[in-house]
Amino acid sequence: MTTTTPASSKAPTEPPVKRRMPRLSINLRQYGIVAALAVIVILFQILTDGRLLLPGNVNNLIQQNAYVLILAIGMVIVIIAGHIDLSVGSVVAMVGAVAAISMNNWGLPWWGAVIVSLVVGAMVGAWQGYWVAFVGIPAFIVTLAGMLIFRGLTLVLLTGGTISGLPAEFTAIGAGWLPSFLGEVAGRDLLTLLLGILTAVALIVFSLRTRATLAKLDLPREPAASMWTKNGIAAIAIIWFAWLLSGYSGTPIILIVLAALILIYNFVLNRTVFGRHVYAMGGNLFAAVMSGVKTKWVNFFIFVNMGVLAGLAGVVSTARAGGAVASAGQNYELDAIAAVFIGGAAVQGGVGTVVGAVVGGLVMGVLNMGLSILSVDAAWQMTIKGLVLLLAVAFDIFNKRRAGGR
């Protein structure tokens, strides 16, 4: 449109245009939670006399918390769209039972059990998505019902007992490491070190390439100094992390799975039409409808996706536990929801990131581990975690009020 807007003569009152770093304000929130994680890590490192970051503990941090991180990735999408899912803990237990039965009773190989688990998860998600999206029952109710239904079905499947003695290939998913192809140097796994260095290099190369594209298209980009500081710190942290892991048993298999999930879902939320529709619906559902978003189908797929990830979390936690128990997955939904909100998602929807949710999950994980090392009583651990959740969200609300009240 070659504009004829005659009022462009009024333009001089326009504020001076600054086009660098347009996303600064959003990024600050994201950095805020990363900084909070760093503070908590340093705090517990001091309080535990350096025991928190012993290689074995770092390894356990990943393997113990993998299920929360996987659930948090699905949950952040659910919460951005303005819903909630209370059933994931029960789904984890039920899928675990199905996986164990499929291997021990039906004789499926480990990979067959994984496929069956993901399919069952998807079916659970489709069931819940149908009631939420097409019938219009609030997700809180549907998934509260799901919490009971799937816990009940787990008890039916396991008839009150437990199934153990799962194949080693299966348990390796949750409790195993990549084989040490490249051997060891001074007791450290070379493959792990190499993966760490490669990841750090890939991160920097990727940022530089993005910057070059932005420059070519004459789009705004963050200052070079800020980019180098950010990526420099991240690269050092990654290599240091790899160094710690290499001194234990190497790279946990689940870490590779997690890294892939984070990359994929970060891409889905930031770069795809589906992801944009999720944010649009959470930001203003009516406006999304009036812009032609097929909100029912988007809602349906959000729950199918949550179901698949809950299925994966079921595989992971069953593998780590080495067997299926009817009481598995208790309170997992609360851990995942807490991680998402600590990670900066908004209760009313429209706001949240995959990275934030994962960091929020790690905050909870470090708290758990640090308090355990300090032999803090389980009752107090729970109390402290509750307070942290409350304070994290309160901090966010104060921040928003200050920003909004200018």
Partner 1 sequence: MEHSIILRMNNIVKDFNGVKALDGVSLEVTRGQVHGICGENGAGKSTLMKVLSGVYPVGSFDGTIEFEDHEVAYKTINDSEHDGIVIIHQELALSPYLSIAENIFLGNENATRGVIDWNKTNREAALLLARVGLNENPATKILELGVGKQQLVEIAKALSKRVKLLILDEPTAALNDEDSTHLLGLIDHLRTQGITCIIISHKLKEIKRIADTVTVIRDGKTIETIDMKGPDATEAHIIRAMVGRDLNNLFPPREPAVGAEVLRVENWTVHHPVDVARKVVDGASFTVKAGEIVGFAGLMGAGRTELAMSLFGHSYGTNISGQVYKNGTEIHMRTVGEAIQHGFAYATEDRKRYGLNLIGDITVNVSAAALAKLAKYGVIDKHREYKVADSYRQKMNIKAPSVASITGKLSGGNQQKVVLSKWIFSGPDVLILDEPTRGIDVGAKYEIYGIINELAAQGKAVIVISSELPELIGICDRIYAISEGKLTGEVDKADASQETLMHYMTAGKD
According to DSSP, residue 23 is labeled T
Backbone angles phi, psi at 255, to 5 degrees: -65, -40
Residue 1 engages partner 1 in binding (rule: CB under 8 A) = yes
What is the spatial distance between Cα 381 and Cα 369, in angstroms, rounded to a whole number?
10
Q: For partner 1, give the closer residue by CB, 179 or 220.
A: 220
Which residues on neighbouring strands pair with residue 355, listed in sequence order? none
What is the spatial distance between Cα 336 and Cα 143, in angstroms, rounded to a whole number?
14
Position 334: which residue type? Answer: L
Pick from 15, 107, 160, 405: which binds partner 1 (CB under 8 A)?
A: 15
Which positions ≥6 away from 188 have C-beta within 8 Å?
Answer: 243, 246, 247
Contact 134, 296 (CB under 8 A): yes
Q: For partner 1, give the closer residue by CB, 23 or 152.
A: 23
Pick from 23, 31, 35, 38: which binds partner 1 (CB under 8 A)?
A: 23
The 10 Å CB-count burial string (b at 16+, else e) for 165-180 is ebeeebbbbbbbbbee
Tokens of 314: 């079921």
Looking only at residues 217 through 246 of this chain, which bind partner 1 when binding is defined by CB under 8 A?
217, 219-220
Residue 250 engages partner 1 in binding (rule: CB under 8 A) = no
Residue 379 engages partner 1 in binding (rule: CB under 8 A) = no
Q: Which stretch binds partner 1 (CB under 8 A): 104-112, 176-184, 213-221, 326-334?
A: 213-221
Looking only at residues 67 through 126 of this chain, which bind partner 1 when binding is defined by CB under 8 A?
none
Q: For partner 1, give the closer residue by CB, 279 or 341.
A: 279
Contact 180, 189 (CB under 8 A): yes
Residue 297 engages partner 1 in binding (rule: CB under 8 A) = no
What string of H, E and C letters represents the secondary structure of 373-402? HCCCCHHHHHHHHHHHHHHHHHHHHHHHHH
Contact 310, 88 (CB under 8 A): yes
Q: For partner 1, give the closer residue by CB, 202 or 403.
A: 403
Residue 18 engages partner 1 in binding (rule: CB under 8 A) = yes
Residue 5 engages partner 1 in binding (rule: CB under 8 A) = yes
**Half-sphere exposure at residue 379, Cβ-oriented, CA atoms within 13 angstroms:** 0
The 10 Å CB-count burial string (b at 16+, else e) for 96-117 is bbbbbbbbbeeebebeebbebb
Residue 3 engages partner 1 in binding (rule: CB under 8 A) = yes
Backbone angles phi, psi at 12, to 5 degrees: -55, -25
Q: For partner 1, give the closer residue by CB, 136 or 187.
A: 136
Q: For partner 1, give the closer residue by CB, 2 or 159.
A: 2
Q: Nearest distance from residue 132's CB to partner 1, in Å?
A: 19
**Which of 194, 196, 198, 169 shows the shortest CA–CA distance to 181?**
194
What is the spatial distance between Cα 162 and Cα 96, in angstroms, rounded to a whole number?
11
Q: Nearest distance from residue 309's CB to partner 1, in Å?
A: 19
Binding mask 327-366 for partner 1 (x = CB under 8 A): -------------------x---xx---------------
Q: For partner 1, give the closer residue by CB, 8 or 164.
A: 8
Pick from 50, 56, 294, 380: which binds partner 1 (CB under 8 A)?
A: 294
Pick from 160, 286, 378, 379: which binds partner 1 (CB under 8 A)?
A: 286
Q: For partner 1, give the closer residue by CB, 279 or 332.
A: 279
How many other CB atoms sit within 10 Å of the CB of residue 245?
24
Looking only at residues 255 through 284 of this chain, which bind partner 1 when binding is defined by CB under 8 A?
270-274, 276-277, 279-280, 283-284
Q: For partner 1, give the closer residue by CB, 136 or 292.
A: 292
Residues forming contacts to partner 1 in the complex (CB under 8 A) are: 1, 3-8, 10-11, 13-15, 17-19, 22-23, 213-214, 217, 219-220, 270-274, 276-277, 279-280, 283-284, 286-294, 346, 350-351
